[in-house]
Chain A
Amino acid sequence: MCLFLGLSAKSLFKSQNEESQALFAQYLNFIVACAGNTDNDQQAVTEQANESLLEILSAKPSVYRIAPYVPDILRQMTTYIPTTLSVTFFEVMHSILKIYSPTIIKNEGLILEVLEPLVNRAKAEFENVKREKGLPKLILTKIWNTIQTIGEQEEYILQYQDQIERVLIPLFQYVEDDTDDGPFDQDILNYVAATVKLTKRVSPITWDLFKVFPQIFDRFQGLITPLFTALSNIIVFGRQDIENNPENIVTLVQLGIKALNTVHPDAAKAGPAMAALFFQVLIQYVGIPDEWWEKMLVACLAKFVDDNKGFLRVRYFQTYYLRKLTSIF
């Protein structure tokens, strides 16, 4: 039944009369009910129901038709988050939150109602993975994809950024824990990069996260590439705060100098090149005190002498040249 509905729901009961709409809602109810089934011997049904929901919710012709039911579907789906065993279920959540954001945002606080159980499930999944090494992390990855989607939707972030980030704090706290190899480092960096770009501001919680960026950077063995987008966005949209707080400038310059001399085995030449690019962004947007200028230039000149690759030399030289321009103007 779920398979049939997944394939045919977009053409079923298209008549506008009330009876047809009520029947359509009943059939939708049925799939949503099956999607939350946690009986071990009926996992195939659950998986199929989720596949069908994914198909129905994502099909373009259905979007307009499904939208009125989405808040109720989402509320019901939220009750399944703590217990579901289906990976596809989280893909459904991801699609609903992405496609129906204009509808969801009209229901006050609904996004926060969804986010909280997601965070709790992510924590529980991580604790399980930590306890039993070798357990698949697929659900954890899917949950982070969903959180990432929330961070990328203008509607949610512009209206609820602070509340969303407060709910996410338990996951953010994992970045301070070196013993766990920073399980969500990249996810958190992606989230920060997306939200700072969307809101064009650096939220207080992002500033708190910024303080642990050096730790994350060390875990990447001095490779700046994974942090580059998040850092660039913070520099561009938080330059006032950076300039008002010299400690931030010191942190950024130190990161850049370390990144020029990264020891990461996969860094090759791209790592130092990204570091030079990072310096260029920093110079363009932030006023840097002279003593730190000197350290940056010395580091760049040292690489300029060491490296024989043309493009890298150009990058290092650009940093030096930008300094010249900045001091002239």
Chain B
Amino acid sequence: MTEIIFSLKESGGGYDTTAKIQACYLLRELCENIDGASTSLVLIIGSLIEYSLISNKVEEIDEHYPKLADHKESAVIRGIDPLIRLEACLLVLGAISVEVSQRKDLMQIIDKVFSKYYEYFLVTETNRKYIYFF
């Protein structure tokens, strides 16, 4: 799964976009047809988001991000910029949103991540001047 997530890192159009769409379809199919795939994927994504925002140090994985321990050597951990990794994670969550939205337990995990780190997601130099209308 982490390799599929890695394949979502590329940006741009043409072939990259097609590959991205196929990768998203594959993840969705996995979630639909394999028991436990949704749970596993959401947990990995949750950990990847935390890891990307807080640490981004491989040596801290065993201690703080046990869900990623098996994927320490994977490209999604080692060969990718944290911001791009974060984007790929959001893309995966979007792609499987239909399946995940049926599962309260998984939505709680996602809610927790997005409430704990909302400042990282929402406050950037670009939007700082606009935000908080209501």
Contacts and interface: CB of A to CB of B under 8 A. Distances in A.
A83 to B, nearest CB: 13
Interface stretch (A3-11, A90-98, A173-181, A256-264): A3-11
Nearest to B133: A76
A15 to B, nearest CB: 7
Contacts of A1: 90, 121
A151 interface: no
Q: Is the interface of B mostly helix, strand, loop or mixed?
A: helix
Contacts of A67: none
Contacts of A27: 114, 118, 121-122
Contact of A72 (B114, B115, B133): B133
Interface stretch (A17-25, A185-193, A276-284): A17-25
A10 B101 contact: yes
A30 B127 contact: yes
Given A3-B91, A12-B110, A26 B122 contact: yes
Nearest to A61: B101
Contacts of A19: 115
Interface in A6-55: 6-8, 10-15, 19-20, 23, 25-30, 32-34, 36-37, 39, 42
A252 B132 CA distance: 55
Interface of B: 90-91, 93-95, 97, 100-101, 107, 110-111, 114-115, 118, 121-122, 126-127, 130-134
29 contacts: A1-B90, A4-B91, A8-B94, A8-B97, A8-B100, A10-B101, A11-B97, A11-B107, A12-B114, A13-B114, A14-B107, A20-B111, A25-B134, A26-B122, A26-B131, A27-B114, A27-B118, A27-B121, A29-B122, A29-B132, A30-B131, A36-B130, A37-B126, A39-B126, A72-B133, A73-B133, A73-B134, A75-B133, A76-B133
A-B interface, 6 closest residue pairs, ranked by CB to CB distance from nearest: A11-B101, A72-B134, A33-B130, A7-B94, A4-B90, A8-B97
